[in-house]
Structure formats: structure tokens, C-alpha cells
Amino acid sequence: MGKKQKRTIFLLLGALLVVAAAIAVLLLLPEKEEGGQDGPSFVLTDRPVDEVASLAVENEKGSYQFIQVTTGSWQVPSLGDIPLGKNKIYECSKTAAKISATQKVSDSADDNAKYGLDQIQGTATVTYTDGTSVKLEFGDEIDGGGRYFRIAGKDAIYAGSANALAYLTGQDLDLIDLELSPYDSTSSDNLKRAEFQNASGVFVIENIQSQQVTDGYGNFFKYRVSGAAQGYVDPAFFAENFTNLVQFRASSAIAVDPTPEQLAGYGLDAPQSYLLLGEGDSAIKVLIGRADGDIYYAMRDGYPVVFKLADYVVNWLEISPFDILNKYATAPAMDQVREVTLDIDGEKTVLAVTDAATRTGTCNGQATDAKLFGEMYQLLCSARPEEQIGSAQKGEQVAAITFTYNDGNQDVMALFSTESRKLLVQKNGQDLGLARRALLDALKQGVENLQAGKQVSKQW
């Protein structure tokens, strides 16, 4: 071997030794101080996530392992096939790769008792793919959150925040996916189907946006309801009560593989209600148990996990068919109607549709302004119940609105007086609910304005 070759080899060996020494120094460094929004933090380990082989946690809550099966794919053996939260997997793996503290509180083992480290209250061991490992030992909790801890075999004692140590001091339940909706998007427009049961019966809500349904009043309907109620879902009511279904989420997971006794305690041996979100194989069914203060116990069908749900997440438990149905009880699109007859105290007004596309028509045979005709039509479509009947007694009929369709069929909305001065609204002989007397006043004024060529208000 020539001198030149030997020199090259020696130089390469020297460079390798320097690199190896530098790596060793970095690995042996006890901490690295960094600045952050919460103040300085001490980074005790800083490895790429794909170098983390496993995390093993033991404490008073139990024990669990978090194992990287293949690069980027993790499992918790104690949870079996129970879905893990995607964000939780990311946060847990990141925590295992980069262990940090908010501050170093002592360099002396003499302070172990002061920080609860004379009697270890939990451990977390991170094992890397190269076979090395780091074991953390935990002491007392810190007022305001977090814990004191040390690296096993070393004297330095650190304080760690609750967030930074969450998965190192927690339990396998913390990794369970709390998202109970099959939908990825947070837009309620993506809610395709929801079925739920409550004391009033079973309701099925289906997305009908593609049908472009608009009624005679001008409401655009996104959803139809069937089951215990039949008709279109009131747009305002949907916005207030059902938009969160697409983001249906539990507050926490509290038990895995519950016993029959536990199920009975949670009211899940005989669930009082259920929610089925989505369609086909991707659908998720949630069983609802008993209430406990402002939470409900629940389970996802097919998985042995008990969840807590905030009461506002299951606000549909108390709704009735009256609540959910579109309050515009009869509001057909104008192109479906031949004429509308308004009868108030025996005096009839007939509005005949001439051209629905231009919203033109006649009033008692006389041509009317298209804008005013459209406004009057919307007013006639606005006859609707506003509240349940309760103990109100039906009196005499004071008005009737008869929609005659192109095929000759009819719908009749009748208004009756009550002792409470409110109107009882009836459709085709079926009592629907009560409305303010302002509806009758608006109908009278609307006819008068239409015939006088004045603006007709559809509000009442």
C-alpha cells in the first residue's frame, strides 16, 4: 500500500473518530437550554421520531406500551383494535423523541425527598431503534400542573409541564380517538346522513342539497327528516342544533372492557338512545347511556370503550318532531301551484298563477304587479305554527288558505281562534300548533295592499 493511500485512510479514520466523538458528546449532554414562549426549557433528549422504538409507562393508573410497528405506524397493545387519535399518536411520538423540562430545580440527590423522588411514583422508558434507552422517574405533582422528575441514574431534578409530560405520566386511555364522526371535514354541508333515537322516536336526517329544494317562502332546504317526523328540516333549527354532528366528539375515554356491573352503572346495559352517523361501512353508531350532571356516558358500537359526552353534544335528546320540522307547514314552490284561495271570515280572495318563472299572476281575475304578487304568495306560504298547542282549546275558524296544485290536489291551512287569543294552525284537518294573531292581521293587510298596489310584507 502506497503512502498516499495510507495517508488517505488515516485521514478518513481520523474524520470518523472526530464525528463519533462529537456524537458521543451530544448524546451525553444532560440538557440543552432553549428559549420558548413559556420561558426556557431543558431538552434532555432530541431524537428523530422514527428512531423511537417504544415508550413504556408505569404509574398508579396502570401501565401501557406505545410501540412503533413500522415507520410512522404505532400501536398500543393493551387497546387492541380500538382506534387511536391521529393527533394523539403524533403528540405522543413527539414527546417520546424530545423529552424536555421547564427548569432544573436541583443538582443534588439530597433533594430527592423534597421533590417526592425518594419514593418513585411512576416511570417512563423510551427505547430507541439503536438499542439505547432513557428512563424517567417521577416524583410529586407541581401546584398548577406538571411533575418533578429525573433521569434514572442521575442526580439532576427537573420540573416538567403537564403538557410536556402528558403521555409520559398518563395511561393508554389518553391515546384513544375521541372523534366519533366519520366525516373529515368540519363543514355541516358534508353531513350525509344521521339517524338518532330519543323519547319521541327515531329520526333520520338526510342531505338533499343536490336536489336544490326551495319552497314558496324562499327557504332553501339542505336536509329532509323521516321517521318520527316527516318533512324538511327547519334551516334555522338545523344550524342551531345539528351542525356539530359532523364534528361529533367525546370529552374523554374513561374505561376499556367494562364489566356488566360497570355497564349497568353507566346506563349502557340498556342504552336510552343512539346516534348513527354516516352510511355503509364507514358509519359510526354511538350508544347513549345515563346522564351524570352535565355529561352522558356513551359507547361506540363495536368497541369496548366508555366515553364521556358533554350534554350540549347530545342536545337532540330532548327535541320533538315539532322542533325539527320546517315551520313553514305548507309552502310549495310556485311552479307547483295553479291558484291559492284565501278565505277570511267568508270573504274570498283568489290568486291565480300565470307564470311561475316570472312570478306573475292575478288577484280575483285582475292582473297584479309581479313583485307584489310574489310578496303576497310568500305571505300565504308563511302560515305556520310557532309553539305547541298545550291546553289551548280550538274555537271558530277565522281563515283558510287553500293551495290548489297543477294536478288538482289541494292542501288547506286553516286558522282557528282560541281562548288565549292565539291562533290554532291546522293542515288538512290535523292540528299543528299555535301562532300569534299577528298572522291573521298580516293576511288581511296583505290582501288590502296587493289590491291597492302597495308593498306586501311577508313578515308578521
Higher pLDDT, 244 or 297: 297
Higher pLDDT, 185 or 66: 66
Check residue 249 and give its pLDDT.
Answer: 93
If phi over 0 gives left and psi between -120 and 50 gives alpha, with beta otherwise, what is residue 169? alpha
Cα separation, 406 vs 362, whole angstroms: 16
Higher pLDDT, 185 or 241: 241
**148-164 average pLDDT score:** 96
pLDDT in tens, 359-374: 999 999 999 999 999 9
25-175 under CATH 2.10.260, yes or no: no
The confidence band for 16, taking pLDDT boundaries of 50, 70 and 90, is low
Strand partners, 65: 56
Handedness of CA 281, 282, 288, 289 (dihedral sign): positive
Q: Grid coordinates representing 211?
A: 336536489
Check residue 7 and give its pLDDT.
Answer: 38
Cα distances from 399 to residues 17, 344, 437, 442, 448, in angstroms, run 99, 4, 11, 12, 15
Residue 295 half-sphere exposure, CB side, CA atoms within 13 Å? 13
Q: Is the pLDDT of residue 396 over 70?
A: yes
Q: Determine the 3-state secondary structure of 419 from DSSP.
A: coil
Check residue 323 and give its pLDDT.
Answer: 86
**429-455 average pLDDT score:** 94
Handedness of CA 365, 368, 374, 379 (dihedral sign): negative
Cα separation, 51 vs 128, whole angstroms: 6
**182-191 average pLDDT score:** 78
Check residue 35 and give its pLDDT.
Answer: 41
Task: Spell 407-421 as b/e; 16+ CB within 10 A means b.
Answer: eeeebbbbbbbbeee
> Nearest CA to 436 among 362, 386, 376, 378?
386
Q: Which of 102-111, 239-248, 431-440 has the lowest mean pLDDT?
A: 239-248
Higher pLDDT, 111 or 239: 111
pLDDT in tens, 23-64: 444 444 444 444 433 444 789 999 999 999 999 999 999 999
370's enclosing H/E stretch is helix 370-381
Domain ranges of the chain: 25-175, 188-324, 334-452
**427-443 average pLDDT score:** 94
pLDDT in tens, 268-277: 999 989 999 9
Taking the CA atoms of residue 121, residue 102, residue 136 and residue 178 in that order, the dihedral angle to the nearest 10 degrees is: 80
Cα separation, 55 vs 125, whole angstroms: 6
Cα separation, 29 vs 22, whole angstroms: 11
Check residue 36 and give its pLDDT.
Answer: 39
Higher pLDDT, 29 or 66: 66
Cα separation, 329 vs 344, whole angstroms: 19
196's enclosing H/E stretch is strand 193-198
Q: Is the pLDDT of residue 8 over 60?
A: no
Q: Is the pLDDT of residue 6 over 90?
A: no
Q: Is the pLDDT of residue 185 over 90?
A: no
Task: Please provide the average confidence, as pLDDT, over all residues in the chain.
Answer: 89
Higher pLDDT, 389 or 149: 149
Check residue 184 and give its pLDDT.
Answer: 76
**Cβ neighbours of residue 3 closer than 8 Å, sequence gap 6 or more:** none
The confidence band for 65, taking pLDDT boundaries of 50, 70 and 90, is very high
